[in-house]
């Protein structure tokens, strides 16, 4: 046994494992025993605790971040055929909620370093959309909002985004699915501003199973605007009058009124109990992820073929993801083959994301071309998200680093293309 990879005992490292302890189990059990399973007092407590935690006046708990985003753009008054700036470097949900309203997601390129929405490109795309010269077949579009995504858990430039939105007359609905708990400050002498602390008109968080805190499925919309909060709450439960909510908690009247054709997006007390227990441990879990992320960065610094994600000053990073970038300019290795080779070694990874403009729905429906997003089109092929979760052992992290090293740097067993003319690996890559 002479190759470096064989000096290391093989381990199986999952991409993510939720951190569910006795507190979560006890909290859920007590709701099950209470006889009240759906939206009630525990949801109200979760909303109050979450609003306080992020520094927002109002919070509405719903059953996903997608629901929160949908309700947020609805509450901002988005109308059919209006345009909303959405980064192409994001998950399906960010743009699909614009389509739910029969409006047009105007896809925008990302910044080379932060991978946050590129505000220069946003301005150019908004301008072209208003003039009706952005896409064939689309006339002049009334551009009304922007949905920035705080990628991987690090906040973008909040002041820059607000200035841009003010200049362009846009509302901001933040996709904060990755960024709880996260914070931003302009300089080291400025106060910290938490994600959700009036960082947008509405800020939407996700409690999906692999997010930084989880309720299985769940989400939260926070805002400082009482009318927006009331609209989101109304539409989250069939558009029923406020009495209906009281009715749900057992104190209101049977005689509610349907005020609008709303949705069925409410969260259960079972999920909220899980959320309250997770909220209590959110900072401890964030610190655990931060420790692993920083060790990754230190150990990967020895590998010239990969770059760790940025950890800029004046940010409190939620560390939802650890997306490395392959230095494709310095090697022949291919991202998809690296993923397959890591998989063969027991290391589960993911890619965040295939950009929206490279999905058939968006390219076929709107005619977006890769050249309209030069940075994202190039960068997404360099991205691989490594395992990162609070209970990850140092030995797991070191094993992942070793495997990345073996698969890139050209040691015995490394991932030069010629080493991979191996049917298993090629087939596994082809299936992705
Ligand atoms: C996970 C995720 C969502 C959707 O969250 P759900 O709670 O599953 O609806 C939206 N945007 C981004 C960027 C995400 O990563």
pLDDT digits (tens, 9 = 90+) for 414-423: 444 444 444 3
- Assign 244 a pLDDT band (cuts: 50, 70, 90): low
Handedness of CA 143, 207, 219, 237 (dihedral sign): positive
pLDDT at site 328: 85
Mean pLDDT of 199-224: 98
Residue located nearest, by CA, to atom 2 of ligand 1: 177
Task: Report the separation in Å between the CA atom of 199 and the middle of ligand 1, taken as the mean of its atom positions.
Answer: 18
Task: Report the separation in Å between the CA atom of 214 and the middle of ligand 1, taken as the mean of its atom positions.
Answer: 12
Identify how many contiguous H helices and E strands the chain contains and give both numbers. 16, 13
pLDDT at site 312: 96
Whether 289 shows a pLDDT value over 60: the answer reads yes
Given the CA of residue 90, which atom of ligand 1 is nearest to it?
13
Whether 411 shows a pLDDT value over 80: the answer reads no
Output phi, psi for 402, to 5 deg. Answer: -60, -45
Output phi, psi for 134, to 5 deg. Answer: -80, -50
Mutation choice for ligand 1 from 66, 154, 176, CB with most ligand atoms inside 8 A: 66
Give the pLDDT confidence of 358-380 residue by residue, as tens digits. 999 999 999 999 999 999 999 99
Among the listed residues 217, 272, 215, the one whose alpha carbon sits nearest the alpha carbon of residue 248:
272
- Cβ–Cβ under 8 Å, residues 204 and 177: yes
Task: Report the separation in Å between the CA atom of 91 and the middle of ligand 1, taken as the mean of its atom positions.
Answer: 7
Whether 239 shows a pLDDT value over 60: the answer reads yes
pLDDT at site 55: 98
Mutation choice for ligand 1 from 15, 60, 64, 65, CB with most ligand atoms inside 8 A: 65
- Assign 137 a pLDDT band (cuts: 50, 70, 90): confident
Task: Report the separation in Å between the CA atom of 189 and the middle of ligand 1, taken as the mean of its atom positions.
Answer: 33
Lowest mean pLDDT among 44-58, 230-244, 336-350: 230-244
pLDDT at site 420: 42
Given the CA of residue 93, which atom of ligand 1 is nearest to it?
10
Task: Report the separation in Å between the CA atom of 93 and the middle of ligand 1, taken as the mean of its atom positions.
Answer: 6
pLDDT at site 429: 41
Given the CA of residue 320, which atom of ligand 1 is nearest to it?
15
Mutation choice for ligand 1 from 63, 211, 263, 271, CB with most ligand atoms inside 8 A: 211
Mean pLDDT of 302-330: 95
Q: At what angle do helices 92-100 and 65-75 cross, to 10 degrees?
A: 40
User: Which residues lie across from 32 on neighbouring strands?
Assistant: none
Mean pLDDT of 196-211: 98
Radius of gyration of the chain (CA): 23
Mutation choice for ligand 1 from 97, 154, 175, 179, CB with most ligand atoms inside 8 A: 175
pLDDT at site 256: 84
Contacts of 363 (CB under 8 A, 6+ apart): 357, 369
Whether 3 shows a pLDDT value over 90: the answer reads no
Task: Report the separation in Å between the CA atom of 240 and the middle of ligand 1, taken as the mean of its atom positions.
Answer: 26
Whether 299 shows a pLDDT value over 70: the answer reads yes
Residues within 6 Å of ligand 1 by CB: 64-66, 90-91, 93-94, 149, 175, 177-178, 206, 208, 219
What tokens appear for 10 in the block?
A: 């093989």
Mean pLDDT of 301-305: 93
Given the CA of residue 207, which atom of ligand 1 is nearest to it?
7
Task: Report the separation in Å between the CA atom of 393 and the middle of ligand 1, taken as the mean of its atom positions.
Answer: 26
Helices (H), 249-393: 269-280, 282-300, 335-344, 360-366, 374-379
Mean pLDDT of 287-314: 96
Reduce the DSSP state of residue 251 to 3 states and report it: coil
pLDDT at site 410: 58
pLDDT at site 422: 43
Given the CA of residue 217, which atom of ligand 1 is nearest to it?
7
Helix or strand holding residue 106 (H, E) = strand 104-108
**Cα 299 from Cα 51, distance rounded (Å):** 37
CB atoms within 10 A of CB 430: 9
Task: Report the separation in Å between the CA atom of 328 and the middle of ligand 1, taken as the mean of its atom positions.
Answer: 29
Whether 309 shows a pLDDT value over 50: the answer reads yes
What average pLDDT is seen over the chain? 92
**Cα 357 from Cα 46, distance rounded (Å):** 37
CA distance to 32, 58, 221, per residue, from 385 (Å): 36, 33, 27
Task: Report the separation in Å between the CA atom of 405 and the middle of ligand 1, taken as the mean of its atom positions.
Answer: 31
Lowest mean pLDDT among 32-36, 244-248, 268-272, 309-313: 244-248
Give the pLDDT confidence of 76-125 residue by residue, as tens digits. 999 999 999 999 999 999 999 999 999 999 999 999 999 999 999 999 99
Q: How many residues does the chain have?
A: 432
pLDDT at site 255: 79
């Amino acid at each position: 046994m002479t190759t470096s990879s064989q000096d290391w005992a093989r381990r199986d490292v999952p991409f993510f494992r939720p951190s569910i302890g006795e507190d979560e189990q006890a909290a859920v059990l007590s709701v099950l025993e209470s006889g009240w399973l759906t939206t009630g007092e525990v949801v109200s407590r979760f909303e109050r605790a979450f609003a306080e935690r992020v520094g927002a006046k109002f919070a509405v708990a719903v059953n996903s971040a997608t629901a929160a985003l949908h309700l947020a753009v609805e509450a901002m008054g988005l109308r059919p055929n209006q345009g909303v700036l959405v980064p192409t470097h994001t998950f399906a949900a960010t743009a699909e909620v614009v389509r739910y309203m029969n409006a047009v997601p105007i896809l925008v390129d990302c910044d080379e370093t932060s991978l946050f929405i590129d505000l220069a490109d946003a301005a150019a795309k908004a301008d072209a959309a208003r003039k009706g010269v952005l896409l064939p077949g689309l006339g002049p579009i009334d551009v009304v909002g922007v949905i920035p995504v705080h990628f991987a858990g690090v906040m973008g430039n909040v002041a820059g985004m607000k200035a841009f939105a003010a200049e362009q007359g846009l509302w901001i609905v933040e996709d904060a699915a990755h960024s709880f708990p996260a914070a931003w400050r302009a300089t080291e002498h400025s106060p910290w501003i938490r994600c959700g602390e009036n960082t947008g008109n509405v800020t939407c968080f996700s409690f999906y199973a692999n997010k930084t805190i989880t309720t299985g499925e769940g989400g939260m919309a926070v805002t400082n605007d009482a009318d927006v909060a009331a609209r989101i709450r109304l539409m989250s439960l069939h558009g029923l009058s406020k009495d209906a909510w009281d009715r749900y908690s057992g104190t209101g009247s049977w005689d509610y009124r349907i005020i609008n054709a709303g949705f069925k997006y409410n969260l259960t007390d079972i999920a909220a109990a899980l959320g309250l227990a997770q909220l209590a441990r959110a900072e401890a879990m964030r610190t655990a992820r931060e420790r692993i992320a920083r060790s990754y960065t230190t150990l990967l610094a020895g590998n010239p073929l990969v770059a760790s994600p940025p950890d800029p000053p004046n940010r409190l990073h939620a560390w939802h993801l650890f997306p490395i970038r392959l230095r494709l300019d310095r090697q022949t290795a291919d991202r998809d083959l690296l993923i397959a080779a890591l998989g063969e070694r027991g290391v589960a990874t993911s890619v965040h994301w295939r950009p929206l403009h490279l999905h058939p729905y968006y390219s076929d429906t709107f005619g977006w071309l890769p050249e309209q997003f030069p940075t994202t089109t190039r960068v997404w092929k360099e991205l691989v998200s490594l395992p990162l979760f609070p209970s990850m052992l140092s030995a797991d992290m070191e094993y992942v680093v070793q495997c990345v090293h073996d698969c890139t740097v050209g040691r015995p067993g490394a991932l030069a293309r010629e080493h991979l003319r191996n049917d298993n690996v090629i087939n596994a890559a082809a299936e992705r």
